[in-house]
């Protein structure tokens, strides 16, 4: 984590990487100290992430530029533009996932192979669904998760497509894989 002393410092840092984070906080405040500590711990577990911080009691020009009225606030920048603000203090795991996702996007963007479109149809009570999703996360496969228990229309459409009622079902670039068929999933996603 790198300390930022002014808005002009920040704008120079924003040019360095596609994805950058800035924590605006007030040292001595319980929530701010919590956010600082948790973000620092999470950033130590993730490589190649740009995280900056500024104490609003000392740096008075940044929060005004982005209309931030409460701290702690974690500002997420993409290509120098503000994309998101995460308010309050979240746990270390939350920040770690946020930072890992940013690194993952940068890696997949730089790879030559195209990213496959993966959709998992699942339900909360399905243990195999959770196993499948954990497996995809472990291999850094991005996917969309659709809970069929919340939408009967989607569940009906899935049965029409696959001929099966059970979950999990995974759509990988238009091909449906029923259940946690690890061999077929590995084959379609190129997992070794």
Per the structure, the complete domain to which residue 154 belongs is given by 118-189
Asked whether residue 89 falls in the same domain as residue 127, the answer is no
| Burial of 12 (C-beta count, 10 Å sphere; 0-12/13-18/19+) | exposed
Domain boundary among 110, 131, 150: 110
Asked whether residue 94 falls in the same domain as residue 173, the answer is no
In angstroms and rounded to an integer, the radius of gyration of the C-alpha atoms of the chain is: 21
Percent of the chain surpassing pLDDT 90: 55
Looking at residue 51, what is its pLDDT? 92
pLDDT at 107 over 80: no
Domain boundary among 48, 79, 110: 110
Looking at residue 143, what is its pLDDT? 87
Asked whether residue 55 falls in the same domain as residue 23, the answer is yes
């Amino acid at each position: 984590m790198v300390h930022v002393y002014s808005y002009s410092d920040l704008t120079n840092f924003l040019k360095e990487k596609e994805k950058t984070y800035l924590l605006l906080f007030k040292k001595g405040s319980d929530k701010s100290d919590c956010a600082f500590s948790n973000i620092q711990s999470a950033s130590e577990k993730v490589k190649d992430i740009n995280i900056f911080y500024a104490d609003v009691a000392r740096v008075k020009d940044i929060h005004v530029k982005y209309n931030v009225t409460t701290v702690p606030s974690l500002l997420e920048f993409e290509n120098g533009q503000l994309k998101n603000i995460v308010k309050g203090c979240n746990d270390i795991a939350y920040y770690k996932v946020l930072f890992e996702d940013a690194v993952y996007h940068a890696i997949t963007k730089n790879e030559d192979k195209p990213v496959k479109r993966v959709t998992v149809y699942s339900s909360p009570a399905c243990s195999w669904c959770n196993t499948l999703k954990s497996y995809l996360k472990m291999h850094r496969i991005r996917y969309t998760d659709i809970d069929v228990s919340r939408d009967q229309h989607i569940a009906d459409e899935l049965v029409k497509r696959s001929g099966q009622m059970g979950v999990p079902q995974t759509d990988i670039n238009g091909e449906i894989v029923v259940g946690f068929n690890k061999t077929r999933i590995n084959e379609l996603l190129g997992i070794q």
